[in-house]
Amino acid sequence: MREAVQLKMYQMTKMGNNSDTSALFASTISKELDILMGSLYSVFCVLSLIGNCTLLHVAYHKWSTLKPAEFFIINLCISDLGMTLSLFPLAIPSSFSHRWLFGELTCQLYAMCGVLFGLCSLTNLTALSLVCCLKVCLPTHGNKFSSSHACLLVAGVWCYASVFAIGPLAQWGHYSAEPYGTACCIDWHAPNHDLSALSYIVCLFVFCYALPCTVIFLSYTFILLTVRGSRQAVQQHVSPQTKTNNAHAVIVKLSVAVCIGFLVAWTPYASVSMWAAFGEATQVPPAAFALAAIFAKSSTIYNPIVYLLCKPNFRECLYRDTSMLRQRISRGSPQSEPKERLGSNSQHNSDMGVSMRFSNGQQESYGACLHCTGTVPCDTNPKDCVHPERIHLQRGGS
């Protein structure tokens, strides 16, 4: 009976009738879990916006000194921001409302953005692992990898992700409501009814999860073996290249941390999705999809945390910018006004002291008339320049 209901839901989704598909967008999990999801999504949204915007700000200030491998970190930051801005503003109110609020067309766009930015992040980390492997394991070729090469590779990452994101819109696979009802993604039940959807999910699993994870694992394994084998030689032969090697080592370590965080976040969702696609879809609890989705969306906060807290030059640049901002705020605060007024009064008293010294005849023969105004005639001889302050002082002295 339940399978028949799900088949009917699938058919209504393909029909595109909003009145018929309204049942698809009702939450199938408890109200408490929906509130938990909305609360966690709100926290993730704020942290992701702050962290990724801060990382982009730091990268902008040190753009000229960025290494080619760090271009992938910036691209990962952009894809995380894209996911944050396109998914969280729709998922948060839907979770609190206990149903999807934005209709079928927005559901399709929401799902496309989720696939696009998620695949872009994973493909980007795969390219980063290959670049790190090239620089560490084959330094002769790795040193030729430039910023222009990085930009071309970044463009390729977006094209690769776009193919799989646009596929369901071109009827290769399907987008639909998530099994828990308050968000949208790939229709994981579709392979039971549609051969094209099955081929799409098989290609998605092979080329967008299994292959990238394998490349990442092998790349960092080769890096680890190379570093272990050359550690003694690096310690014995200190050369001008040592500093560069240390910089690459830092990037490799941080890249490993970001990759581990991303894969840990997305693996539960990938596992549940494959269970639904290739197993008995009716046996997958909607709550399992909901909890896996929470872990997956937490991936948007790992990259800025790792790089802003652990990369020395990023941290120093952030500290310098924060100190400058704090100084500007303190200068513009009301508490700083008395000090500024005190400073201006001191300067005024100093100027008066200079005028008194000039009027006492200590320095009469200066080359220019500093206090002439339009109402006071000034001859060519500086001594003939009479200023009201001097007249006042002379009268006071007499």
**CATH number of domain containing 256:** 1.20.1070.10
For residue 362, tell me if it sits in a domain.
no
- Report yes or no on 352 lying in a domain: no
For residue 221, being part of any structural domain is answered with: yes
- 388 domain-assigned: no
* pLDDT at residue 4 in the model: 37
DSSP string, 22-89: GGGGB--S-HHHHHHHHHHHHHHHHHHHHHHHHHHHHHHHTGGG--TTHHHHHHHHHHHHHHHHHHHH
Domain-located, residue 43: yes
CA-CA distance, 136 to 148, in Å (whole number)? Answer: 19
Residue whose C-alpha is closest to residue 259's, from 366, 90, 128:
128
Through-space distance between the first and last CA atoms of the chain, rounded to whole angstroms: 115
CA distances from 343 to 226, 347, 380 (A): 62, 6, 35
- Residue 110's nearest CA partner among 162, 159, 176 is 176
φ, ψ of residue 175 to 5 degrees: the values are -100, 145
Please, are residues 112 and 242 in contact by the beta-carbon 8 Å criterion?
no
Give dist(CA 185, CA 190) in Å, integer. 12
Instruction: Specify if 339 maps to a domain.
Output: no
Give the mean pLDDT per block of 10 residues along the chain (398 residues).
Answer: 43 47 82 95 95 89 84 93 96 95 94 96 94 88 89 96 94 91 90 84 93 93 84 53 59 86 92 86 87 93 84 69 72 55 47 42 40 42 47 46
* Number of domains making up the chain: 1
**Within a domain: 261:** yes
Main-chain phi, psi angles of 373, to 5 degrees: -125, 175
**Containing structural domain, residue 315:** 2-327
Whether 334 is covered by a domain: the verdict is no
What pLDDT score does 305 carry?
86
